[in-house]
A and B are shown apart, each in its own frame.
Chain A
C-alpha cells in the first residue's frame, strides 16, 4: 500500500479521488453543522444555560468550568490516543518493538496531573455547595410545594392562598420553598431558578429562591413518579411585588359567581357530576382535597399540570375523556358526562377567573 502511494503515475488519480472524498465529507459536515445550528437556535425554554438567580448562576458557572476543563482534557487525551495509534501503526518490516514495562516517573506524573485537576474542581465546588445551601431568611415568603400524582400543589401558609401548577413569586424577595410529597417521589425543578430538590413522602426539605427577573419559567417533575410522569409540569410566574400582591389578594376571594345561564348550570353540576368529591371551589364547595383547587382555575394559563392550554377545546376534551389526554391520571368521575354537561361545566370553569 505504502509502496503504491509512492508510484508517481498513481498520484493524479489518487488526488482526484481524495478531492471527491473531501468534497463529499465537507458537504456532509456542512449539512450536519446546519442541522446543529438549527437545533441550537431553536427555543429550549427549559435549558440550564439561562440562569436567572444567583444559585442557578453558580451551578451554571461550575458547569462551564467542568465543561471547558473537560473539553481540554478530552482533546488532549483523545489527541494523544489517536496520535499514538497513527504514529506507531504497524509498517512492513517492523521489528519487535522495545519491550518496555513501565516508568515510575511517568506513573507519578500522570497520577499527580488528574489529582491537581480534581482538587481544583473540588475547591471550586465546595464553596458553591455551601452558598447554595443558604437558609431562607425569616421574612421570606413561604410556599409549600407538594407533589401529587401527577400535579403540583402550591400553598402559601402565611397568605392563605392555595393554587396548583402555577407558582407565583414576587421579584426581588426571597422565597422559602417547603418541599413535600403526598404519595411517591417527585422532584421540584425549574432550571432557570435553581437545581432540583426531590419531593420525598414523609420528609420536608426547604430551599431558598431569590428571583431576580420577572417572567414565566417552566419546570417539570424530574423523578419518575408513575404513569403520567411525563405530563407533570408547572410554571413559575415571577412578577412585580404589586402584581403579586394583587394576584394573592384575588386568589383569596371566593370564586367569581357565574353570570350566564349556561355557567350557572355548570355550577349546579359540581355535586351531582362528582367534581366536588375531589375539588374545592371556595364559595360553593370546600370538601374536596384530592384534586387541585379550582376556585380560580380560569385565571391560570394551563390545565392538567401544564400540559394543556386553558382553552375551551382542551377543557372539553379533558372533561370528555381525561384519560385520553393524560393516561393514568387520577381524575376518576363517578359516571361519564353528557355533552350538555361538558358544555356547561366548560363555560363555568373558564369563567372562574
Chain B
C-alpha cells in the first residue's frame, strides 16, 4: 500500500551526460539499451530497404553484387545481434527488478559493462563499412567463404571479433539477470508467482549461457584459421567446412529461441491486462518455454538437411524438430484461452500482442513444413525460408517487442504514446509486413534462391518481388510514424500516472517513471498479480504489504533514505579497453597493448572501488 502513494514524478532521468556515462541504475541502462537498439534497428531496416530496391525488378543494376552481399550479411547480423537481442535486453533491464520487487539488478556495474560492451561492439562491427568493406558471406558465416583465400580483407575479422565482443555482453547480462531473478525476488515472490516475462527472461538467460560458448569456440577456431594458419574449416589441411555449420547451428537454433522467448513473455503479460483475466495455464506456459529451450538444443541439423548427413541423422532431427512444434502450439492455445471469456480492449499494446499470435502461427506452421527433410531439400535456401524466418522473427519477435514498447513506454517515461498514431503504426506495419513476406513463400516455391542480387525476367518472379518491395517500404513508413510518435509523446504525451492500463504486476504499483530506488519499501507478495489483487480483490487483502521499516531509515525527511549503488566510470573504461584491443588486432598491434592496459587498470579500479 505504501508503495502506491508516491505521486510526484521523480527525477529518475535528470542529470548531466556524465551521470549517464557512469550510471548503474537499471532504468537508465534500459533507456540506453532502447535508444541504441532502436537505432541499430533503423540501420538494419535501411539495409533491408536497399536490398528490396535492388530486387524490385528483374535484372536491376542499382547495387553492385558485392555491396549487395554486404547488405544482406550486415542486415542479418545487425537485426539479430544489434537490434532484437539488445531490445529484449532493454526490457530485461527495465522490467525484471520492478517486476520482482527489487531495487536494482544483482550486479549494477556489470550491467553497465554489458551495455557499453554492446554499444562499442556494435560500432566496431559497423566500422567495417568504412574500413575496407563489410562482411559479405551471410549472417551464418559459412566456411570456407570466411577463409583468407576467399575473404582477404579484414571484413571477416570485424565480424568474428565483433560477435565475440557482443557475446561477452550477452553472457554477462545473462549471468546478471539469472542471479537477480534467483536471489533478489521480494518476499513471497516465489517462482510460481513470477510474471511470465520474468520466467522467459530466466530461460533466455540460461539459453544464452549455454549457447554462446559454442559460437565462441567456433569463432576462436575461425580466427585460428585466419591468423595462425590452422585449418579447422579448410579441407586442404584436413579440416571440414561442415564442422563450422554444426558449431554455428548448435548455437544458431537456440539463438532463434533467445530471440523469441522474451517476446513471448511480453505477450503473456500484455494479454491478461487487456482481457482483465489472468494468464491461462500459467504453469504450462512457463514449462513449455523451458521445454522449447531444452529441445531447441537438439534440432540444429534441420538447417543442414541439404548437406547430405544421411537418412538416419535426417530422421532423428526431423522428429526432434517436429517435437518442438508441440510446446509452441500449446503456448498459442493458452494465449487464446487467456482471451476467451475476457473483456477484451483493443488498445495499441493489445493489437500488437494479437498481431504477434496471428503472425507467429503462420511462421510456426512453415517451420513444421521445413522440418520435413524431403520438403526442406526443395525449399531450403530459397525465399520460402526467408519468409518463414521473417514470420517468426518479425511477425513474432518484432510485433511482440512493439507490444511491449507501447505497454511499458508510459511506465518508463511517465507519458502515454499516442493511441491514434499507434493504431496507424500497427495497421501499416501489419499490411506492409504481409505484403513484404507473404509473397516470399510463393517465390520460394517458384524456385527463387535466397541471397541472389538479381534474377532473370524469364523466371516469373517479378510480380511477387515487386509486391514484396512495396510491402517493405510500407513497413519503413510505419516505423517512421512510430519514431515521430515516440519523440512527440516523450515531450508532450498525456501524463500516464502510475497505472494507466489497470495492470496487475508490481511495476504498476509505483510512479511513472519509477523513483530511483523503485520501491520505497520492499513489497511482500502473495499473488501472481499483486497489484490487481489489491485493486480488484481476489479472496485476500493486502497483496502488497509493506515490510516493517528497516533500521537505517531513522531520519525524518519525506523521501525515504535508501542506499543505492554509486555511479561508476569503470564499466565504460573496461569496455573501451576490450574493444580497443580488438581494433588493435585489425589495425595495429600498439592498440592491443593500449587496450589491454586500459582494460587491466580499469578492472583493478573496479575491484578497488569503495562501496557506495
Contact = CB atoms under 8 A, between A and B. Distances in A.
B306 A118 contact: no
Interface stretch (B34-42, B106-114, B449-457, B574-582): B449-457
Contacts of A5: none
Contacts of B450: 224
Contact of B381 (A73, A111, A118, A196): A196
B280 A62 contact: no
Given A90-B343, A129-B374, A118 B326 contact: yes
Contacts of A351: none
Nearest to B538: A99
B155 to A, nearest CB: 13
Interface string B299-319: 000000011101100110011
Contacts of A307: 456
A10 interface: no
A97 B342 contact: yes
B138 A224 contact: yes
Contacts of A48: 378-379, 445-447
Contacts of A77: 332, 336, 361
Interface stretch (B116-124, B234-242, B406-414, B544-552): B234-242
Interface string B482-513: 00000000000000000000000000000000
A220 interface: yes
A80 interface: yes
A80 B361 CA distance: 12
Interface residues of B, number: 94
A183 B337 CA distance: 54
Contacts of A124: 372
A35 B326 contact: no
Contact of A230 (B319, B361, B454): B454
Contacts of B361: 74, 77-78, 81
A121 B453 contact: no
B365 A107 contact: no
Nearest to B359: A78
Given A88-B342, A230-B452, A73 B365 contact: yes
A331 to B, nearest CB: 16
Interface in B354-393: 354, 357-358, 361-362, 365-366, 368-369, 372-382
Contact of A133 (B311, B322, B345, B456): B311
A90 B277 CA distance: 12
B342 A224 contact: no
Contacts of B323: 118
Contacts of B319: 122, 126
A46 B341 contact: no
A118 B281 contact: no
B324 to A, nearest CB: 9
Given A77-B361, A114-B329, A196-B380, A229 B280 contact: no
Interface stretch (A63-71, A157-165, A313-321, A340-348): A63-71
Interface string A197-213: 11011110101000000
A227 B343 contact: no
A38 interface: yes
B481 interface: no
Interface stretch (A184-192, A244-252, A269-277, A283-291): A184-192
Contact of A98 (B145, B306, B341, B366): B341
Contact of A102 (B280, B308, B378, B382): B280
B137 interface: yes
Contact of A97 (B276, B318, B381): B276
Contacts of A184: 144-145, 150
Nearest to B323: A118
Contacts of A144: none
Contacts of A38: 463
A56 B374 CA distance: 9
A222 B280 contact: no
A73 B325 CA distance: 13
Contacts of A200: 241-242, 307-308
A124 to B, nearest CB: 8
A42 interface: yes
A340 B458 CA distance: 33
B220 interface: no
A39 interface: yes
B64 interface: yes
A132 interface: yes
Nearest to B370: A66
Contacts of A63: 369, 375, 378-379
Contacts of A129: 311, 314-315, 318, 373-374
A45 interface: yes
A39 B442 CA distance: 10
Query: Which of B235, B339, B374 has the most CB atoms of chain A within a 10 A radius of its CB?
Result: B374
Query: Which of A85, A98, A225, A227 has the most CB atoms of chain B within a 10 A radius of its CB?
Result: A85
Interface in A83-142: 84-85, 88-91, 94, 96-103, 106-107, 110-111, 113-115, 118, 121-122, 124-126, 128-130, 132-133
Contacts of B333: 106, 110
Contacts of A205: 308
A328 B538 CA distance: 70
A107 B281 contact: yes
A224 B336 CA distance: 40
Contacts of A4: none
Contact of A46 (B380, B446, B454): B446
A115 B326 contact: yes
A307 B452 CA distance: 13
Nearest to B341: A97
A206 to B, nearest CB: 8
A43 interface: yes
Interface of B: 64-66, 69, 137-138, 142, 144-145, 150, 235-236, 239-242, 275-278, 280-284, 306-308, 310-311, 314-315, 318-319, 322-323, 325-326, 329-330, 332-334, 336-337, 339-346, 354, 357-358, 361-362, 365-366, 368-369, 372-382, 442, 445-456, 458-461, 463-464, 536, 538
5 contacts: A88-B343, A110-B329, A114-B326, A132-B311, A185-B144
Interface of A: 35, 38-39, 42-49, 56, 58-60, 62-63, 66-67, 70, 73-74, 77-78, 80-81, 84-85, 88-91, 94, 96-103, 106-107, 110-111, 113-115, 118, 121-122, 124-126, 128-130, 132-133, 179, 183-185, 187, 189, 191, 194-198, 200-203, 205, 207, 218, 220-231, 307, 327-328
Ranked 8 nearest A-B pairs via Cβ: A202-B235, A195-B377, A46-B447, A230-B452, A44-B460, A39-B463, A114-B329, A118-B322
Given A35-B463, A203-B308, 11 more contacts: A44-B459, A98-B277, A102-B280, A114-B326, A133-B311, A200-B308, A201-B241, A203-B235, A220-B449, A224-B450, A230-B453
